[in-house]
Amino acid sequence: MSWCKVVVLSALLSVSWCAEDWTFPPGFKFGAASAAYQVEGAWNVSDKSEGIWDRFAHTVPTATIDGSTGDVACDSYNLWETDIEKIVELGLHYYRFSISWPRLLPYGFANFTSEDGKRYYNDLIDGLLAKGVEPMVTLYHWDLPQVLQDLGGWTNPLIVNWFGDYARVVYSLYGDRVKLWLTINEPMSVCDIAYNTAVVAPGLLSPDHGTYLCNKYVLLGHARAYRIYESEFKAKYNGEISIPNQLMWYEPWTEDDVDLAELAIQNNAGRYSHAIYSKEGGWPPAIEKIMEENSKKKGYPRSLLPAFTQEESEYIKGTYDYYAMNYYTSRVVRAAKEGEVLTAYPIGDIPDLNAVVGVRPEWAQSNSSFFVLFPEGFRRQLVWLKKNYGDLKYLITENGYPDIGGLNDEGRVNYYRDHLKQLLLAIKEDGINVTHYTAWTLMDNFEWNNGYSSKFGLYEVDFNDPLRTRTPRDSARYYTKIIKNHALDLE
Ligand code: NOJ
């Protein structure tokens, strides 16, 4: 990337200065992420209760392709000090991890807090801070207490209160030391993947109702957690909060599909962002209209996309201190042909938009058909966000690459290089204010349906070893070099 600037030397003399510049802005921070169910293990230790992934992995034979569970995972519950060693070895500025709701509040409700749960996260937070690493904490990363799921989980409006109560407990315990908060990780996975496909926890198929009830109540739950912090903790602790959205970038298949691609983005990014970041609030208008028409066609007396009251809409609007974005992959879309059978969103097509989803043949594959590589999509998505929601502060809260293992992970090195390059272009050429980049993930862990077969780690974990030995991959060394130089290594 060539940079040419006019430098004014004196009132009468100015020169032009050009340089190759792949450095990150001053103060830019690098981190890595994990999530409680994927790394902690200790699923029934002390008074921890069952979470929805415990139940799903234990009872549904097809839950994971390798028949595995998160019962032990990376054993980070016992090996958190080793994790911190690796975090320090990498040179990370911050570590993103999640708190397990069923570990901290075993009954789901805020009437009882586990001493053991309190201690575990206190130790982890203090251990990180002692090494100069900032904690970035996710309140919810897909591990709802099963007792709350039995009451309807994210489709029950009362979860807005339950989540708010849980958030208040967490802020009271750790708010003095944690300044970066994330509420509900990837609501698109929690709602759309879950209820449209049932191949993930809680394993309930309810594409017409579950998906959209969940969509509404995660937005309200997020807003409740934000408002509680704002009114009860902000003045004291001055932390920042957002909701990490998983954004899939959509390109038009042909030039006839430009409007459809925009609708696909509104359906993915917009359905979880518009209510929070747009000036008018509520659902993205185009999606709201389509959902009304679709619901009518299906014979329902009202839209399946549950309306917001004016009060709810105002309550959700503006509940952010920054935009948190998880990005992995992109797709192309086209209008379905007459009679074409569509598969379920978001793993397959987008039936709500009568759209067929695919990938361009030239896009590289990873070992997983879901994670197709289109690094330019990362930059284009950021440009779209800025255009739609404004010149906000953007944090990349996840980005990463799966393979089948091995220490020489060239594919992952290339992935990080190509995506960080697009990120720098977004920062320098599109003027997008991105301040953090988070690699997914610190070490191999329980990758949901793929169990331990899909490896995303900067560190390899030996799952046959009771010590769960963590060994750095080439990508770990590559990432460390970038962090140390504060610049992208394009070699
Ligand atoms: C996003 C999720 O937040 C995380 O849990 C998952 O492991 C990665 N994507 C990779 O699929």
Q: Is the peptide bond before 301 cis (omega within 30 degrees of 0)?
A: no
- Residue 47 CA, distance from chain mean position: 28
Residue 5 lies inside a defined structural domain of this protein: no
The pLDDT value recorded for residue 7 is 42
Residue 363 lies inside a defined structural domain of this protein: yes
Ligand 1 — pocket residues by CB below 6 A?
A: 35, 38, 185-186, 326, 398, 440, 447, 456
The pLDDT value recorded for residue 18 is 41
Residues forming the active site: 186, 398
Nearest to 444, CA basis, from 411, 417, 407: 407
CATH number at residue 105: 3.20.20.80
pLDDT digits 0-9 by tens, 464-479: 999 999 999 999 999 9
Instruction: Quote the number of domains for the chain.
Output: 1
What separation in Å is there between the alpha carbon of 455 and the centre of ligand 1?
A: 11
pLDDT digits 0-9 by tens, 187-218: 999 999 999 999 999 999 999 999 999 999 99
Residue 490 lies inside a defined structural domain of this protein: no
Residue 420 lies inside a defined structural domain of this protein: yes
Residue 17 lies inside a defined structural domain of this protein: no
Q: What residue type is assigned to position 19 of the chain?
A: A
Per the structure, the complete domain to which residue 462 belongs is given by 29-485
Residue 252 lies inside a defined structural domain of this protein: yes
Rounded to whole angstroms, the Cα distance separating 413 from 401 reads 9
- Per-residue pLDDT 10s for the chain (491 aa) are 555 554 444 444 544 434 478 999 999 999 999 999 999 999 999 999 999 999 999 999 999 999 999 999 999 999 999 999 999 999 999 999 999 999 999 999 999 999 999 999 999 999 999 999 999 999 999 999 999 999 999 999 999 999 999 999 999 999 999 999 999 999 999 999 999 999 999 999 999 999 999 999 999 999 999 999 999 999 999 999 999 999 999 999 999 999 999 999 999 999 999 999 999 999 999 999 999 999 999 999 999 999 999 999 999 999 999 999 999 999 999 999 999 999 999 999 999 999 999 999 999 988 888 899 999 999 999 999 999 999 999 999 999 999 999 999 999 999 999 999 999 999 999 999 999 999 999 999 999 999 999 999 999 999 999 999 999 999 999 999 999 999 998 87
Rounded to whole angstroms, the Cα distance separating 160 from 44 reads 26
What separation in Å is there between the alpha carbon of 327 and the centre of ligand 1?
A: 10
Residue 241 pairs with which residues in a beta bridge?
181
Residue whose entry in the numeric block shows the structure tokens 């958190």: 80
Joined tokens for residue 24 = 């990150």
Residue 402 CA: which ligand 1 atom is closest? Answer: 10
Rounded to whole angstroms, the Cα distance separating 143 from 49 reads 11
The pLDDT value recorded for residue 369 is 84
Residue 265 lies inside a defined structural domain of this protein: yes
What separation in Å is there between the alpha carbon of 447 and the centre of ligand 1?
A: 7
Residue 237 lies inside a defined structural domain of this protein: yes
